[in-house]
Structure 1
Amino acid sequence: MSSMTAQTPATRNAAAAQQATLDELVVIAARHAADGLMDMATRMVAVLLDMTTAGPDPHLTGSRIRTGNLLKDNAYAFVHLASTGIELALKKEVAQLAPGLKPAAAAAPLILSLVPLEEMDSQLAFASVSRPFDLAHSEALASLGVRLGMLLGRGLVRAAHNPFRPEVFLRAIQQAWCEFEPDPQAHALVMPLLRPAVVFELGPLLAALNDKLKPARSSRNDGERFAKTDDSASARAARARRDAAVSQQLRQLFGAADPAQGAELDIPLIANLPQGSGGWRPSGAAGFVPGPASAPASSATPAAGFAAPAPGQSAPYHATMAPPPGAAGQPAGAALAALPAPLIGMLEKFAAGLPGSGDGAAAAAHGHEVFYLPRLKQSLPQGSLSRGDETTLDLLSRIFETVLLDDALPQETRELIAFLQVPVLKAALHDRSFFFEATHPARRMLDLLSNVGWEQPGSPDDPVYRAMRSSVEMVRREAEPQAFASAVADLEASIAEREHAQQAAIAGPIAQATRQEKQAAAKRSAKKAVALRLAGEDVVAVVGTFLEQRWTPVLSLAYTIEDSKPGAVDNATRAMDDLVWSVKPKTTQEGRKALIARLPALLTTLNKWLDAIKWQDAERLQFFAELAECHAAIVRAPIELSPDRQMELAVEAAQQDAMRRIALEQQAAAEEEQEEETALDPAAATLATLERGMRVEFTGSGGVRKVKLAWVSPLRTLFIFSGAGRQEAFSLPAERLLESFRTGSIRVLALDGVVGRVLTQAAGEAAMNDPMHAERAG
């Protein structure tokens, strides 16, 4: 009576995958063997026809000559027989290794029988012939046994059951020889030829099998993988590529519109920009209502956020700002001389109606509150501007609209930026690289003011705010494009001083966080190193306990001081490895002599490290007493070991080493898989790109809080933020930040400057309106 075992679809699929992998291994091994058989046959012929090793027996000499010539003339036949026999033998061994993967056959009656003497002699003979191969490839064979066991869900496939052990190949070659050689008396000639110098190389074959069974590596590029490192470099590279594309689009936008070329733009206009004459009300710009060109400045509606101060409040910055020469009807001729001729008179005429042009304090207090760049365009006769000049004015109108309507910027900052409309327009008309180069001084100044201005000044005496005011005054006073470079230099110097002061203020928390992170990382590395040595290792109990309890702190200390004392980790790790080696059996006199010679240095190193961690109690004396007894027992043990016992010990040592290596390999594969899963998490990807200086916005029960990332720990496990408006700095671990990104309670504010954001959007709209784009989309 036979019982049927029901298999689930998942079980059947797993069994099918295992069988497919085993079949692939057979194909790989058979192919490698077949590739080396022809060279092996050539070496066999050379040995058979070498009469210097023939001996005095004439019959044996004659048999070797006949067989050697037969093989020389019919090598292809022998290679075919041997390659076919090897493949069949491997399939048979694999079937015996995993019988559960094959369809169940009818149960056969159990028959007990004695093993024939001939078979026992054959087993002994092949065990002797295979021993040099087993010793030479013990490490690869042990690794293959461990990997096969993992494939089949077992702990280990022993050497005697490994379907790819050297004996399988040697037996198949011997059987092929018996089929190839018709003379039975010549069959014995093949056994002396089955030695490493003649048989094809098994090393590459076993290496290919091990590679096949290794965990699959990630197919993603290193730059695409998430790791606990700073990915901001790749993010900056991506932004640089995007900026280059936008710059190219803008160059195309202006390239054909240059008046010197006398050609009109042969691409569509940018959508949603102020066009031609007539009124224009920026979307959402409540209060930013440009009046007619002839309307006096004082009659314009004040901008939202730019209202006159309430009673008891200090006057806003514009009430104390000196009238700009360029805006008061005094444009610098030197600065405008290089501009397009039609615009010189237009700017001079328009400047007469700007704030501070004759209305005194009233004009200064109200007139400039109008978002006046659109008014300039409305005041010009339609068609009086070239396409390039018109695009310049349109883009700058959008840039200033974006800044002046940004409620996230303090009122004082927006008022400062409002005074730069005409100076920036002059600079952009003078040098169109304003739109292509992020380092253009005028563009850099706008970005600095908008980026730095997000932090509410504590008082009018704030050094950075004073530098912002001074920079704006310099640009308006000198009315030269070169003035922007000096203003930017002064502003950057002031910002750098504030950054230095902020870093000094959080130096203490940074030092503490760095120490804690370094200690935690050292402890993890130490535990991992000790666990690796003990995985699959038959270490005596006293040493195993010592490594886990006492040497882990030693390694932690070594990892902690590695930066200040290079070589500490290597020294402590080497001492651990030497200790493990010292308690392994020594089967030769040379091994015991080596143990005795290395013991003094090993004990000295152990004691130095144990002194460093201050382990001075009685347990330390007890450990060294037990260690001495262990070493004495190793030295006194009988040394006469049979070849089989030596082989057994060598294989066992190789298996333990293989299990330790593969355990580490599996751990690395698991970590990489976890990184792959993390890379697919948008929140984790965003966290990986955070870098110092970025601004983020937290949303919670207390409202919205905007802060700046002031510091990121070296291993990116801790982030310190500094708050705006002189709020105290605070720190968050990576786990909490990751959760905040997932819940949406934190977001990264725009990384690009305001100019870059507007230009990117405008270039994208222009591309969408390109007829060629429509054709490609259709």
Structure 2
Amino acid sequence: MASHTAQTPATRKAASAQQATLEELVGIGARHASEGLMDTVKRMVAVLLDLTAAGPDPQQAVRRIRSGNLLNDNAYAFVHIAATGIELALRKEVALLAPTLAPAAAPAPLALSLVPMEVMDMQLAFAAISRPFDIQHSERLASLGVRLGVLLGRELVRASHNPFRPEVFLRALQEAWCEFEPDEQSHELVLPLLRTGIVFDLGPMLDALGERLKPARSRGQDERFAKTDGSAAAKAARARRDAAVSQQLRELFGAAGAAAGAQSAVPEIPNLPQGSGGWRPSTAAGFAPAGMGGAAPAATVPQPAPGQAAPHGVVMAPSHAGAGVQAQVATVAALPAPLIDMLERLAASVPAAGQPAGPLPAQGEAVPHGVFYLPRLKQSMPQGSLSRGDETTLDLLSRIFETVLLDESIPRETRELIAFLQVPVLKAALQDRSFFFEETHPARRMLDLLSSAGWEQAGSPDDPVYRAMRRGVDKVRAGTQPDDFAAAVADLEASIAEREHAQQAAIAGPIAQATRQEKQLAATRSAKKAVSLRLAGEQVVAMVGTFLEQRWMPVLVLAYTIEDSKPGAVDNATRAMDDLIWSVKPKATQEQRKALIARLPALLTTLNKWLDAIKWQDAERLQFFAELAECHASIVRAPIELSPERQLELAVEAAQQDAMRRIAQEQAAAAEEDALDEPAAASLATLARGMRVEFTGASGVRKVKLAWVSPLRTLFIFSGAGRQEAFSLPAERLAEAFRTGSIRVLAAEGVVGRVLTEAAGEAAMNDSMVGQVG
């Protein structure tokens, strides 16, 4: 009875993927063979027409000449026949390995039959013909067999079942010749031609097949793998995005200037969020909007009663200025003039708005009513009173200050300082629109510095950074020099640099200790991995295996530790380990034994130097070298009468062990790369020094700055705002925090860039929607 094997969709999908890969391998093999056939034909013709190798038989010479001329005149026909035959042979061989999707059929009855002597003779003949190819490409064939085994879920594919073994190609060439040559007596002429030097080189084809079966991540890479630099990738992506935003803003303002009022030429900035609330600097009651949905023309806005909140959108003058000054402000806003002129006239009418009436208030004092709220300025002006470029500038600056002044993560004292910069920054942006394109623009840089430095300032009047912030705002408000913003930025950056230096000095001790520990742990991990991979993939003499685990492991740890100061130490120690393993393997030929004798002095010298470095000087070391010498002597004295078949078997076995070790390294590296693709690991890889993060726990929310990242990214040190004590976390705990969502990375870019990016994205979306409607 036929037995049916149920297959799940996942099983069928995996089998289909394996089948597709095998089909691709057949294509690679057939293509490489087809590309080399024409050169093979030319070499075959040259040998056939060389009568010096024809021998004394005249009939044999005639057959060689006739076959050589036939092949020379009809080379393309033979190439076609041979290429087709090779592809069919490969498909037939691969079919024996490919998983079947059809239900298993009932086993056929066993049929016993004798193999004809001619078939046996041909098998023996091709075994002898193929042997030089097998020996020449033993390492490639062994590696390919192991990779095919990985593909099919087996340990390995044996040499006799490898679909791409040389015998398959040689048999296909012999069958193609028999089909091509009508004279049966000339069929035997092809067998002497199936040798290395005449048949196309199988090496490039085997290399291409092995490369295709490598893990996708390791193709075209070195055997050493490095962790993905997620922070660098994030920086590159951010740089590309910033460049796109900058270009979009350049086009925005360029179109505004060229159109000179053409409304369709400039994308509209979305309206600012409206609401019943608003930012209140300190206790200034005059800044609460009345919650009106729209803004009436400034000239008709009624004046509030004493103690009453100002109407929505009105620019408030100082409380001591009186109703007359407020009327002047409304009149200035109603005049159709460039915005920069309006601000100058407004500054002249209301001194506190454009120029300070006195020094900044002390920390904790109420901010005077002379500071106005920029996001409401546009609403107090009649529609159409601004040029398109001025309107866009005001919209963007209003959105920036709206974001900053409503950000509760920035201390109240810092927001009150920033509030005094609304008119100076607006003037600077109107005079130089590169404010929106260049992160280094002094006015833009000052806004970013105040919002970020204020986030972590200690909140004390004696804090040097806070004092520098106040000095900078005072200088800019005074407005006596054109480079006031640049001077203020330089002063503030110097104060921040001093604070950074002090913070780094405070954690210098933990950093040094953590660096040493990390380096030692990484060296130990790498040494264990190197030794375990070799012991797992090799049949090592027990004495040598014990030596590697107990005595050479410390040598490798030392080599990895000093690699930075002495480059090449790891390669030297690893090569000595590999040479030691090779030295105790059987040597089947006289050449191999001569190579062993020649390499032993250098090997023993290297081993002793490293063992001296780790101070292994007891009697056990003498015993090890005595046993090693005896092992080497037995290898050199062993009988050497080995058949060619046994020599090939030993060569293939050694190549398979090397391939299994190499592929195990690739799989381990691919597993590490896959682990880095986990969302938590990917988020962890983007962390960089200076970033601000937010931890959420049972005790509430804690905002800190990433002060240091270890070289191998296994330890992270954070410093808190307000002189909170620094603390460290290992990478494992941080990754777990990302998985649970208890950590959040705050925006890495400046507040100005963040707002401009959002605004540009919304403008692009509006353009897209308009285009679809059109």
Q: Secondary structure at the match of 1:107?
A: coil
Selected match of 1:746 from 743, 746, 752: 743
Amino acid across the alignment from 1:755: V
Q: Which moved more, 1:731-740 or 1:165-174?
A: 165-174
Using the alignment, how far apart are the partners of 2:19 and 2:360 within structure 1?
Answer: 93
Using the alignment, how far apart are the partners of 1:118 and 1:272 within structure 2?
Answer: 91
2:671 counterpart residue number: 670
Change (3 A) 1:62 1:502: same
2:232 counterpart residue number: 233
State yes or no: 1:699 paired with 2:696.
Answer: yes
1:712 counterpart residue number: 709
Change (3 A) 1:110 1:767: closer
Deviation at 1:501, TM superposition (A): 0.6
Q: What does 1:726-745 correspond to in 2, within 5 Å?
A: 726-745=723-742
Deviation at 1:100, TM superposition (A): 7.3
Q: Secondary structure at the match of 2:703?
A: strand
Amino acid across the alignment from 1:713: S
Amino acid across the alignment from 1:459: S
Q: Is this contact kept in 2: 1:82–1:173, CA < 8 A? A: yes
Deviation at 1:530, TM superposition (A): 2.0
Change (3 A) 1:635 1:80: same
Amino acid across the alignment from 1:447: D
1:554 counterpart residue number: 555
Selected match of 2:684 from 684, 687, 699: 687
State yes or no: 1:129 paired with 2:129.
Answer: yes
1:399 counterpart residue number: 400
1:349 counterpart residue number: 349
1:49 counterpart residue number: 49
Using the alignment, how far apart are the partners of 2:361 and 2:751 within structure 1?
Answer: 31
2:510 counterpart residue number: 509
Q: What does 1:146-185 correspond to in 2, within 5 Å?
A: 146-185=146-185
Percent identity, please.
75
Q: Is this contact kept in 1: 2:245–2:760, CA < 8 A? A: yes
State yes or no: 1:774 paired with 2:760.
Answer: no
1:431 counterpart residue number: 432
Q: Secondary structure at the match of 1:368?
A: coil
1:722 counterpart residue number: 719
Q: Is this contact kept in 2: 1:575–1:602, CA < 8 A? A: yes
Amino acid across the alignment from 1:41: V
Using the alignment, how far apart are the partners of 1:210 and 1:576 within structure 2?
Answer: 26
Deviation at 1:35, TM superposition (A): 4.1
Q: Is this contact kept in 2: 1:230–1:691, CA < 8 A? A: no
1:277 counterpart residue number: none
Q: Secondary structure at the match of 1:605?
A: helix
1:592 counterpart residue number: 593
Q: What does 1:288-687 correspond to in 2, within 5 Å?
A: 288-289=287-288, 340-351=340-351, 357=357, 367-368=368-369, 371-373=372-374, 385-457=386-458, 459-676=460-677, 678=678, 681=679, 683-687=680-684
Deviation at 1:268, TM superposition (A): 6.0
Q: Is this contact kept in 2: 1:229–1:715, CA < 8 A? A: no
Using the alignment, how far apart are the partners of 1:670 and 1:41 within structure 2?
Answer: 46
Amino acid across the alignment from 1:738: A
Amino acid across the alignment from 2:732: E
> What do residues 576-626 of structure 1 show as CA deviations (whole Å, max 9, x unaligned)?
111011111223333323323322322222122223233344443332222
Change (3 A) 1:404 1:453: same
Amino acid across the alignment from 2:238: R
2:333 counterpart residue number: none
Using the alignment, how far apart are the partners of 2:485 and 2:392 within structure 1?
Answer: 22
Q: Is this contact kept in 1: 2:231–2:685, CA < 8 A? A: yes
Deviation at 1:713, TM superposition (A): 1.4
2:334 counterpart residue number: none
Deviation at 1:297, TM superposition (A): 12
1:144 counterpart residue number: 144
2:271 counterpart residue number: 272
Q: Is this contact kept in 2: 1:583–1:634, CA < 8 A? A: yes
Using the alignment, how far apart are the partners of 1:175 and 1:382 within structure 2?
Answer: 90
State yes or no: 1:63 paired with 2:60.
Answer: no
Amino acid across the alignment from 1:187: H
Change (3 A) 1:728 1:107: same
Amino acid across the alignment from 1:621: L
Root-mean-square deviation (CA), in Å? 3.8
Using the alignment, how far apart are the partners of 1:180 and 1:390 within structure 2?
Answer: 84
Deviation at 1:419, TM superposition (A): 2.5
2:201 counterpart residue number: 201
1:242 counterpart residue number: 241
Deviation at 1:710, TM superposition (A): 0.5
Deviation at 1:487, TM superposition (A): 1.0
Q: Which moved more, 1:616-625 or 1:560-569?
A: 616-625
Change (3 A) 1:629 1:23: same
Using the alignment, how far apart are the partners of 1:571 and 1:90 within structure 2?
Answer: 43
Using the alignment, how far apart are the partners of 2:276 and 2:490 within structure 1?
Answer: 33
Using the alignment, how far apart are the partners of 2:565 and 2:437 within structure 1?
Answer: 47
Q: Secondary structure at the match of 2:154?
A: coil
Deviation at 1:295, TM superposition (A): 6.3
Deviation at 1:345, TM superposition (A): 2.4
Q: Is this contact kept in 2: 1:457–1:725, CA < 8 A? A: yes
Deviation at 1:95, TM superposition (A): 5.0
Q: Is this contact kept in 2: 1:471–1:491, CA < 8 A? A: yes
Q: Secondary structure at the match of 1:109?
A: coil
Q: Secondary structure at the match of 1:454?
A: helix
Q: Which moved more, 1:41-50 or 1:721-730?
A: 41-50
Selected match of 1:759 from 729, 732, 756: 756
Deviation at 1:33, TM superposition (A): 3.3
Q: Secondary structure at the match of 1:453?
A: helix
Change (3 A) 1:213 1:356: closer
Deviation at 1:543, TM superposition (A): 1.2
Using the alignment, how far apart are the partners of 1:111 and 1:24 within structure 2?
Answer: 36
Deviation at 1:751, TM superposition (A): 2.3
Deviation at 1:296, TM superposition (A): 9.9
Deviation at 1:63, TM superposition (A): 2.8
Q: Secondary structure at the match of 2:455?
A: coil
- When normalised by structure 1's length, the TM-score is 0.83
Using the alignment, how far apart are the partners of 2:200 and 2:28 within structure 1?
Answer: 15
Q: Which moved more, 1:285-294 or 1:175-184?
A: 285-294
> What do residues 242-297 of structure 1 show as CA deviations (whole Å, max 9, x unaligned)?
33343344445544555x985455446534349xxxxx977444653269989699
Q: Secondary structure at the match of 1:465?
A: helix
- When normalised by structure 2's length, the TM-score is 0.84
Amino acid across the alignment from 2:730: P
> What do residues 194-233 of structure 1 show as CA deviations (whole Å, max 9, x unaligned)?
21222233223333433443334489x99xxx98444233
> What do residues 665-707 of structure 1 show as CA deviations (whole Å, max 9, x unaligned)?
333333333334x2xx2x4433222211111111211122111
Using the alignment, how far apart are the partners of 1:429 and 1:577 within structure 2?
Answer: 70
Q: Secondary structure at the match of 1:672?
A: helix
